[in-house]
Amino acid sequence: MEVDLPVVYWRPGCMFCSSLFRQLDRIGVPYERVDIWSDGAAAERVRSVARGNETVPTVFVGDVPLVNPSVHEVLAVASTELPHVVPEGYEPPEPSRFARWLHAKLGGA
């Protein structure tokens, strides 16, 4: 089955899921929602990539699973896997000064 939208696996009451939905909606990224509490196969798919846990949100961008990702992580993967869902003109935020420092200390370029 070829999927042409990111699929967000979620469950009711999950504040992390609600936050991701708001961010995806604000940026204008189309996606599908699948409630793991009402779909046993969906819950199994999440467990298969989340070390046996039902961690949500779990997002599949094409065949790439992301467990509890940020909206920018979803868009980074979508830019190569599903480029048609990335809004025109989207630019990821610049890393903070601390993030650049930490990256350099950990051996990044």
Q: Tell me the per-residue pLDDT of 38-78, one tens digit each, with 9 for 90 and over.
A: 999 999 999 999 999 999 999 999 999 999 999 999 999 99
Query: Domain range holding 40?
Result: 7-105
Answer yes or no: is 1 within a domain.
Answer: no
Answer yes or no: is 2 within a domain.
Answer: no
Q: Tell me the per-residue pLDDT of 56-67, one tens digit each, with 9 for 90 and over.
A: 999 999 999 999
Answer yes or no: is 84 within a domain.
Answer: yes
Answer yes or no: is 37 within a domain.
Answer: yes
Q: Tell me the per-residue pLDDT of 2-25, one tens digit each, with 9 for 90 and over.
A: 569 999 999 999 999 999 999 999
Write down the pTM of the prediction.
0.84
CATH of the domain at 14: 3.40.30.10
Answer yes or no: is 96 within a domain.
Answer: yes
Answer yes or no: is 79 within a domain.
Answer: yes
Number of domains composing the chain: 1
Q: Are 82 and 91 in contact (CB under 8 A)?
A: no
